[in-house]
Amino acid sequence: MKRWIGFSRFSGLTRFNLVHLKNLVILSMVLSVAAQELNAQTPSKPAERHSYKIDLKVDFDRLTYTGTERVRWVNRGEKPTSVIYFHLYPNLRVGDQQFLTNGAPVDSDEPRIDVLEVRTGLDDTPLFSSLEDQGTTLRVNLREPVAPEGAAEVVIKFKGLVPEIDPDETSLTTHVVKQVSAALRSDRETRRARDINFRCRGVMLLGAAYPVLAVRDGDEWRRKVEPSVGDFIFNESADYEVTVAANPGVEVFTSGTETGPKNEKTGQTFTASALRDFAILAGRGLRSEHTEVQGINVRSIYLAEHERVGKRALVVAANALRVFTTLFGPLPFKTVSIAEAPLVAGLGSCEFSGLNIIASAYFVDFDSPAVRNLPEIIREQRPSVEESLEWAVAHLVAHQWWGAAVGNDPAREPLLDEALSSWSALLYYKSTYGEEKAAAVLNDQVRGVYRLYRTFGGDDMETNRPARDYRNTFQYAAIVSAKGALMFVDLQKTLGEEKVFAALRDYYQANLYEIAQLEDLRIALVAKAPVEQRRAIGRTFTRWLTSKRGDEDIAPPDQELAATLGLPTKQTPQKSGDKNALNALARVGKFFWQQVTRIR
Ligand SMILES: [Zn+2]
C-alpha cells in the first residue's frame, strides 16, 4: 500500500515534467519578447504593489489609538471589481467568544478596531461599507469598477484599543507550565488577536492594528480568517509610509525604517517596501542596538534590564542574515529587527515582515539577581534556554525569506515557511560553528522535539496538513517544523547541497513578493535535479509529508522516559505559575526539561 502511494506521486512526476516543459516554453517566449524589448530600449515595468499611507496616534497610557489610512489597491486579477475587502484582525474572536458590534459594552480583555469612516481617495466622497464575518471583514463598495491592472484609492478612518495583559500570563514559569500541559494533556491551543495586540509590562505591541487588504487569489477574495495554532496573518506585499505619534517618552519601533527627524506633534515617519504587515512596538523602557549587514540595518530591541541578552541576539541575527543572504539571495527589506515583547504563554515567538518578536520570558539574563525568583528546575535549564534563544533568532531571521519576502498561506500550507525556516536555522549553525555543532543541534532542536512528542503519546502525522489540523504548539513544532525540516535534510543528502541551494535560490527569486505553494518548491527542486534523481524527490516528499514514517526516520519514543512518566501525568499542573506542579515533575529527567523550556 505504501509503495502504491509512492507510485501515485511518481506518476505525478509526469505532471511536473509537463509543467517544467510548459515553463521552458514560457521562458523561451519571455526571452524572445525580452530580446525584442531590449532592441526597442523599453525597460520592463515591475508589477505594481498596493500601498498604505497611515497616520497613527497612539495613546500608550489609555491603551487606545486612532488612525487614518490612504490605501491604494491594485487589481491584479483578470476581471473588473467594484468591491474590495479588508481584514480587521484585532476583531478576531475564538471559541464561544463573540465580537460585539457598536453600542455593546467593550470586552476589555480583547483588542478591537472600529471603522469610523470610509471615503474615496479620488474626491473624498463617502463610500458605502459594511462589516462582515463577525466584525473581522470590512467590505467597501467602490463607486466604479476597477479594471484589471487599474487601481482604486480609499481613505479609512479608524480607532482601536488593546487590552492590558496580566504580567503573570507572560512569565517564563507560565510559559513552561503551558508547554508541560500541552505535552501531558494535549490541550488545544488557538492563537488569539490579543496575542499580538496588547500592552503588558510597559510594552505595547500592535501586530496588525489597521485595516489591511485581504488577499485576492486571482479573482477570488480570501476573506476567511481561521484561528488555529499557526499564524493567522496572511497578506499581500505592499509599500508603506506610516507616521506614528505617541505619548512623550514612549519609544516607537516598527517594521519600517525611520525617515527624517521626529516631529513633536505628528510623530515619526517610517517607510518600507514589500512588507506583508506593519507591526509597531512601543514602550518607555525599550533600548536598541544595530549593525549593518550587506546593506541591511539589523537591529535588536530589548528592555534595559535584558541588555546582555539583547546584544547576544543582535550578534546571532547579524550572522544569520549574512548566512542566508549568501545561500538564498538578498532580502528586499532595509531593516530587520529582533525584538523582545511580553508574549503570553503558549506563544514563544512571532514573525512580521522586517520585525521578529521573541517572548520576553526567554530573554533571561541568568547572571542577574531577578533569576533567583525562578523555580530551580527552570534555573537549571540555563544552557537549554540560551541555546533556544539562538535557535529562535536564526529561525525567525529565516522567516524574512520564507513567509515575508516569499509569502505562503499559513492556514493552508503552514509547512512551507515553518519547515524551511527550521531547516535554514540548521544551515546557520553549520556555517557558523561547523558540521559537529550542526549535527548536535539537529538532534536536539529538531529530532528531539519529535521524540519527546512521541514519547508523550502524540501520534505521528502528515506534515502538509492545514494549520487547523494541529492541536497545539507541541504537536505543531514536532510535525510541521521538525519533521518538515527533516525533509530538507533528507533532500540535501539525496540531491547534494549545491543543487538544493540552487533550487532554493530559484524558488526565492521566482516567488519573491508573491504567495508560493508547496508545488512551486517541488518544481524548483525537480528543475535542478538530474533526470535520474527526479523520482527520488517525489519519494522524499511523500515519505516526509504524506506518510507516517517518523519513528523509523527520526526516532522512536523514549521508553525509559515514558516509564518515569506514570506518576506526573496524574498530577497535571493546573494553574499557571504553580511552582509546586513543576517540582512534582522534577524527576522526569533532563531531556524533558530541555525540551519544555524551549521557545516554540
Ligand atoms: Zn516559525
Dist. CA 447 → ligand 1 center (Å): 16
Residue 495, CA distances (Å) to 21, 298, 471, 504, 530 in order: 21, 33, 33, 12, 9
- The C-alpha atoms of residue 189 and residue 171 are separated, in whole angstroms, by 18
What grid cell was written down for 510? 521566482
Dist. CA 397 → ligand 1 center (Å): 9
In this predicted structure, what is the pLDDT of residue 430? 98
Dist. CA 116 → ligand 1 center (Å): 35
* 161 domain residue, yes or no: no
In this predicted structure, what is the pLDDT of residue 14? 33
AA letter at 530: P
Dist. CA 422 → ligand 1 center (Å): 7
User: Residues near 182 by Cβ (< 8 Å), separated by ≥ 6?
Assistant: 189, 346, 472, 473, 474, 475
Tell me the CATH number at 453.
Answer: 1.10.390.10
The rounded Cα 223 to chain-centroid distance in angstroms is 19
* 25 domain residue, yes or no: yes
* 39 domain residue, yes or no: yes
Q: How far apart are the first and last CA of the chain?
A: 35
In this predicted structure, what is the pLDDT of residue 30? 40
Looking only at the bridges linking them, the beta strands covering 238-246 and 50-59 are: parallel
Dist. CA 68 → ligand 1 center (Å): 32
* 537 domain residue, yes or no: yes
| 577 φψ region: left (φ > 0), alpha (ψ -120 to 50), beta (else) | left
* 536 domain residue, yes or no: yes
Dist. CA 404 → ligand 1 center (Å): 11
Dist. CA 211 → ligand 1 center (Å): 24
Per-residue pLDDT of the chain (600 residues; tens, 9 = 90+): 332 322 223 233 333 333 344 444 444 444 443 434 333 334 445 568 999 999 999 999 999 999 999 999 999 999 999 999 999 999 999 987 887 776 566 677 999 999 999 999 999 999 999 999 999 999 999 999 999 999 999 999 999 999 999 999 999 999 999 988 888 888 889 999 999 999 999 999 999 999 999 999 999 999 999 899 999 999 999 999 999 999 999 999 999 999 988 888 889 999 999 999 999 999 998 999 999 999 999 999 999 999 999 999 999 999 999 999 999 999 999 999 999 999 999 999 999 999 999 999 999 999 998 888 888 888 989 999 999 999 999 999 999 999 999 999 999 999 999 999 999 999 999 999 999 999 999 999 999 999 999 988 899 999 999 999 999 999 999 999 999 999 999 999 999 999 999 999 999 999 999 999 999 999 999 999 999 999 999 999 999 999 999 999 999 988 887 777 663 443 444 444 455 666 667 667 777 888 888 888
AA letter at 133: D
Structurally, the chain folds into a number of domains equal to 2
* 248 domain residue, yes or no: no
* 15 domain residue, yes or no: yes
Dist. CA 396 → ligand 1 center (Å): 6
Dist. CA 480 → ligand 1 center (Å): 10
In this predicted structure, what is the pLDDT of residue 184? 82
In this predicted structure, what is the pLDDT of residue 182? 85
Q: Which domain holds residue 7?
A: 1-45
In this predicted structure, what is the pLDDT of residue 297? 97
* 273 domain residue, yes or no: no
Query: Would you give the DSSP letter of residue 383?
Result: H
With helix as H, strand as E and coil as C, how does 228-255 read?
Answer: CCCCCCCCCCEEEEEEEEECCCCEEEEC
In this predicted structure, what is the pLDDT of residue 521? 97
Dist. CA 26 → ligand 1 center (Å): 34
